[in-house]
Amino acid sequence: MIDSHCHLDLLASKVDLHVSLESAKAAGVTRIMAPSINPPSWKALQALSEQYGSILPIDTALGLHPYFLTDSNQNSQASTTDAHEQGISESLERLEAAAANLHLSVKAVGETGIDGHINVPFTLQKRVLHAHLKLADAISLPVILHHRKSHHLLLEALKQARYQGVGVVHAFSGSVEAAKAYIERGFYLGIGGTITYERARKTRDTLKYLLENHFDKILLETDAPDMPMYGRQGVPNEPQYLSDVVDVMHELFAVSPDQTTSITTENYLRLFNAA
C-alpha cells in the first residue's frame, strides 16, 4: 500500500515518528507522499525524507495550503492588508525559487486548493491556486488539490488556468458527476478514511462507480494525523491504519485487498513518476 497523503511533519508533533513509520511498514505500507502546508514545512519534510528514508521512501510536495494563507509570511507579524498581500507574494516567490532547485524527494506541487469553510477570501485562494497550477505546468509535476464545498470552483479554476497537467484531488468525497469531471481532466482521486463511516453514503456510492469504471484513477490515503478512521477517533491518525480503507473496500465491494493494493500502487507510481 502507498499512503498518497500524509502530513508527516504534523504527525511528528503527536507521535514518535520512527515508531509510527516502522509500524506502517509492518502493516504493509511501502511508500508515503508528504504534502506541505507552508514554506517552513518544505525543508522540514525534506529533512524527514532524508532521515527516515531507510524505513520507507518518502516523497514530498511544495505548496501553500489554503488554510494557512492567513499566516503565509512566516517572517512578518504585520496585520495590514497591504503587508499581508506582500507576505503572500513573498511566499509565492519562495515557492518558485524552491521549484527552481528541487530537492530529490519533491514529486508534486501542493497541497493547494480552495476551501469553502475557512475565513480566507476566495479571491486570495484562487490567486494562490492559479500560481500553483502555473508552476506545476512549468516544471511538469502533478498538483495535489484540497477541497471543501468547492468542486465547482476548482473545476472552474482548472479551466481558467488552462491547466495542462495532471494531479490528484485528495480526500475526495464528491458525487459521481464531480468524479467524472476531474477524471476527464486527467486527475486521480484520493480515497481515505471517509469511506470507513457508514454515514458517508454518497462517497461510498461514488467509490462503487470508480471501482467499476475507473479503478486506474484511485489512490489510497490517510491524511494523517487528521481524518481518523472509524473506530479510531480520539487518537492521531497514522499511515499504519491505511489498511482500514482497503478492508472497507473489500467488505463493501468484494474487491480483494491484493487487487486494491496492486492497482493503487501502480496508479501512484504512474502519477508521481516515482520509482
For the segment 91-105, what is each residue's pLDDT rounded down to a tens digit?
999 999 999 999 999
Asked if pLDDT for residue 74 goes beyond 80, the answer is no
Handedness of CA 11, 51, 65, 196 (dihedral sign): negative
Q: Where does the pLDDT of residue 85 fall: very low under 50, low under 70, confident under 90, or very high at 90 and above?
A: confident
Nearest CA among 163, 236, 244, 173 for reference residue 210: 173
Q: Do the beta carbons of residue 107 and residue 141 sit within 8 Å?
A: yes
Q: Tell me the backbone φ, ψ of residue 29, rounded to 5 degrees.
A: -75, 130
- DSSP per-residue letters across 235-262: S---GGGHHHHHHHHHHHH---HHHHHH
The shares of helix, strand and coil residues in the chain, as percent rounded to the nearest 5, are 50, 15, 35
Query: If you ran DSSP here, which 8-state letter would residue 218 be given?
Result: E
Q: Using one digit for the tens of pLDDT, what is the confidence trace for 178-227?
A: 999 999 999 999 999 999 999 999 999 999 999 999 999 999 999 999 99
How far apart, in Å, are the Cα atoms of 216 and each of 67, 108, 133, 212, 219?
A: 30, 19, 23, 10, 9
Q: Where does the pLDDT of residue 87 fall: very low under 50, low under 70, confident under 90, or very high at 90 and above?
A: confident
Higher pLDDT, 85 or 69: 69
> Mean pLDDT over residues 116-145, rounded?
96
Q: Do the beta carbons of residue 171 and residue 221 sit within 8 Å?
A: yes
Q: Using one digit for the tens of pLDDT, what is the confidence trace for 186-196?
A: 999 999 999 99
What's the confidence (pLDDT) of residue 152?
Answer: 96
* pTM score above 0.85: yes
Tell me what the pLDDT averaged over the chain comes to.
Answer: 95
What's the confidence (pLDDT) of residue 83?
Answer: 64
Q: What CATH number matches the domain at 2-271, 3.40.50.2000, 3.30.1360.120, 3.20.20.140, 3.40.50.2300?
A: 3.20.20.140
Residue spans per domain, the chain:
2-271
What's the confidence (pLDDT) of residue 70?
Answer: 77
Nearest CA among 141, 176, 179, 191 for reference residue 4: 191
One-letter amino acid of 141 = L
The total of other beta-carbon atoms located within 10 Å of residue 132's CB is 27
Asked if pLDDT for residue 72 goes beyond 60, the answer is no
